[in-house]
Structure 1
Amino acid sequence: MLEDPRLQMEERNIQHAIIGDVMTRLPEILQSLTKSRLSSLASVNQISGRSKMKKEELADALSAYLTDPEQLQSIVLVTDADEWALLETLIKEPSIQENALPFGQYSYFMERGLVFSFFNEGKLYVLMPEEIKSAASQIDLSELKQEHGSKQEAYEYIAAAAHLYGVIKLDKLVHILNSQHNEAMTEEELAKYAGEMIERGQDILLQDGILFNGLVANGADESKLAELTEDLDSKAFYVPEKEELLRYADQSYFEMTPQLAELQAFVLNNMCKDKELVEYLIDDVQLACTNKSSMQDLINEFENRKISFKTPVHAQRVISLLAEVYNNTRMWTNGGHTLVEMNAMEEGKDPKKGLVRLVEDNENVIAKVGRNEPCPCGSGLKYKKCHGK
């Protein structure tokens, strides 16, 4: 198995490349492909009648489709920022020669036949055929780039909303977007953009005017979905400033609260010196809280990584910190609000009601461990022989 990331990328690139002399003319490239590959390109581009076409007919149909400026425009409009930058380079340059070019940067174009790669004499070349460059020259790329940028921002709002809220009605998202965006957008436009994102493999679901995070919708039972979609019309959503909201378009982003930072510092100083392992722990603890998982599920995140509680005091302290993290994490069921914020919004409500309590409940939390399972304190004894006595 290859360990060097560059070698791994090079190997993947070679697997998808045409081995042999570099070709720059589209008809020549298409004729060199197998009928199976041509059929795949025709299917992705939804060329009608493709199932009955012979190899030569498929090549001709693809050539006509890919050199149509209108079709070309529709293909490139749904690219992301990195793909657009690569497109601009490929239009200007004869080719890109880089053996370790990340495959994900050009795979979308390759799947549709706008770009091809060749591996010749130990070098990888990625290029756009001359005929497609000619078609691109008939498009006002500066105007298209502006339209592309506007669409990209809509994509970011959709991705951010799915990440921050878990579930939200599309009309509510339109209201949020239009309150922070220069140009008004309709619900129909946003639904179209969400559909394009789903086609590109974005882990979201749009159903009956409701946008779901894929982590919520995939595998969730009916009761969980019902909980998340309950009172969506009247639910108050946490709406940060545009800059902060769009940070959530990055699916790895989360708000590093003081409570999470304190938990991370405690674990690093007292339980585990592996910084990367602890970072992954904090990431998963935060996600579990977002999804309103149980306290025992949070403890399991430690056990799954074999991060042991050194003493009963450590166990109690971690559980106390976890409770604070839980109370101050933005939750999908709360429209992105934390439990602390939800309580503050309800006038006359006991400020501690609805929050996860700390020390007084810790014994009960630990008691959820099976009597024959290892004790959370890390002693190595079964729970019944240690803190379960």
Structure 2
Amino acid sequence: MDQNLKDYIKATTNLYGVIHKAKFLEIYNSQNKEQISVEDFSSHEYILYNCFASIQGDHLVRVSIIQETLRPTLKIQKGKPHFVPDREELLKYTDKDYFEDTGEFKELQRFLKSFFLIRKKAVEFSKQIRRFCWSFVTFHSQMGYYWAQHRFNIKNRAKAQEFLFLLTNLRYNTRAWEHNGHTLNELQNVVSKREIERLLSYGLEENYFPVINRPGR
């Protein structure tokens, strides 16, 4: 399997989480002179593992997506168009930590830097939140676990509301697997208001948002 094909497998599974083989071939063949067929990669599952991907049925799947979340991810993806950047932009997603540098992320990071006494902790927390935004299916469970592990708390109600506003704004403007690489903001004409509300609260448990107080105070 050539390096270019490996790069496309990494990039598409990082951007979409899950992608049908036919859609993968469509994207690859539209951006490369050398055309491929499904047989060119479906018989090389051991190499796919090195791309942090696997084949499950008719789909290429990012290895971090577990079986329990695969079905709901595919269900939400259904009927939504794919965001397909040009070759140069798409291949940036071979880096599993690549994200577009958005104003919404910068605003959240500025807030956290002004809030936490330790700057490094604020930077890492903001980046971790952005990673969680990749999946609406697992967002709240991952946030809750990370929050509990690091004991992040806010007591000031106004600050807590500001944080929730910035967090929601980031979620609207981060490319997500369930939206086939689109942001929720880009799909507002495709996704109903009711579905948007369901997605934002997917997996949300009562009393999820903890009491928050500034570390060191």
TM-score range, shorter chain: 0.7 to 0.9
Q: Counterpart of 1:164 in 2: which secondary structure?
A: helix
Identity of aligned residues (%): 25
- Compute the displacement of 1:296 (Å): 7.1
Aligned partner of 1:376 in structure 2 is: 211
Q: Does 2:37 align with 1:172?
A: no
- Compute the displacement of 1:356 (Å): 5.2
Q: Does 2:123 align with 1:284?
A: no
Instruction: Write the mapping of 1:25-40 to structure 2, written as runs, cut at 5 A.
Output: none
Task: In structure 2, give the amino acid aligned to 1:255.
Answer: E
- Compute the displacement of 1:286 (Å): 1.6
**How far does the alpha carbon of each residue in 1:292-340 deviate from its partner, in whole angstroms, 9 at most, with x for none?**
1355753654453234325221111101111111112211111111211
- Compute the displacement of 1:281 (Å): 1.3
Question: In structure 2, how many angstroms separate the alpha carbons of the residues matched to 1:296 and 1:313?
Answer: 24
- Compute the displacement of 1:193 (Å): 5.1
Q: Counterpart of 2:151 in 1: which secondary structure?
A: coil
Q: Counterpart of 2:55 in 1: which secondary structure?
A: strand
Judged with a 3 Å threshold, the aligned counterparts in structure 2 of structure 1 residues 239 and 186 are, in CA distance, closer, same or farther, namely: same
Aligned partner of 1:215 in structure 2 is: 64
Conserved? CA contact 1:298–1:322, under 8 Å = no
Task: In structure 2, give the amino acid aligned to 1:261.
Answer: K
RMSD: 3.0
Question: In structure 1, how many angstroms separate the alpha carbons of the residues matched to 2:131 and 2:179?
Answer: 14
Q: Counterpart of 2:133 in 1: which secondary structure?
A: helix
TM-score, length of structure 1 as denominator length: 0.48
Instruction: Write the mapping of 1:91-110 to structure 2, written as runs, cut at 5 A.
Output: none
Judged with a 3 Å threshold, the aligned counterparts in structure 2 of structure 1 residues 181 and 320 are, in CA distance, closer, same or farther, namely: same
Conserved? CA contact 1:288–1:298, under 8 Å = yes
Instruction: Say which one has the larger Rg.
Output: 1
Judged with a 3 Å threshold, the aligned counterparts in structure 2 of structure 1 residues 226 and 369 are, in CA distance, closer, same or farther, namely: closer
TM-score, length of structure 2 as denominator length: 0.82
Instruction: Write the mapping of 1:146-225 to structure 2, written as runs, cut at 5 A.
Output: 151-192=2-43, 195-198=46-49, 201-217=50-66, 220-221=67-68, 224-225=69-70
Conserved? CA contact 2:135–2:177, under 8 Å = yes
- Compute the displacement of 1:245 (Å): 0.8
- Compute the displacement of 1:277 (Å): 2.1
**Which has the bigger relative contact order, CA under 8 A and spacing at least 6?**
2
- Compute the displacement of 1:285 (Å): 1.0
Judged with a 3 Å threshold, the aligned counterparts in structure 2 of structure 1 residues 155 and 317 are, in CA distance, closer, same or farther, namely: same
Aligned partner of 2:96 in structure 1 is: 251
Conserved? CA contact 1:296–1:368, under 8 Å = no
Task: In structure 1, give the amino acid aligned to 2:212.
Answer: C
Conserved? CA contact 1:327–1:355, under 8 Å = no
Question: In structure 2, how many angstroms separate the alpha carbons of the residues matched to 1:234 and 1:289?
Answer: 21
- Compute the displacement of 1:354 (Å): 4.0
Conserved? CA contact 2:112–2:126, under 8 Å = no
